[in-house]
Amino acid sequence: MNFLDSVPAIRRIETSRDDLLAIDVVGHISAADGENLFGLMEAAYALHPRIDVLVRLVDHDGVDWANIAEETLKQGTAHAMEHVGRCAAIGEPDWTADARHALRDSPSIEFKHFETEDEAAAWLWLGVQPTGKQQGRG
């Protein structure tokens, strides 16, 4: 095992809003990283009935969707539809069309994609700023 294998691909970004979950998604997302993401979202929902989400993709290299438990995906989708208001996606690939399709039963979620060079506009769109701290799991 390489020491880099233990570096989490989902990294929480501290922000100026308690009701916003901001994360960096770095490299390849394993099933364990996906489960971690759903756990971070559940924790945010426990504190706030409605949240906004910011996802910044960094050197994205795919997701192991097939290896994430089907029940986790179903529950994660259902809870997102209940709790998420806005979602800003920064970087490539632009996955917002796929998310809109997957969450088509929830027209209340507003997705917006921003190019990497337009990151400041994403933070502004959500009315939030990063505080400079970044965390690993949980």
pLDDT of residue 42: 95
pLDDT of residue 106: 67
pLDDT of residue 101: 83
pLDDT in tens, 85-138: 999 999 999 999 988 888 777 668 999 999 999 999 999 999 999 987 555 434
Q: Measured between alpha carbons, how far is 128 from 126 in angstroms, rounded to an integer?
A: 6
pTM comes to 0.87
pLDDT in tens, 25-70: 999 999 999 989 999 999 999 999 999 999 999 999 988 888 888 8
Q: Measured between alpha carbons, how far is 120 from 101 in angstroms, rounded to an integer?
A: 26
pLDDT of residue 1: 46
Phi, psi angles (nearest 5°) of residue 102: -65, -30
pLDDT of residue 94: 94
pLDDT of residue 25: 94
pLDDT of residue 9: 92
Q: Give the domain 3-135 fold.
A: Transcription Regulator spoIIAA (3.30.750)
Rg (CA), the chain: 14
pLDDT at 2 over 70: no
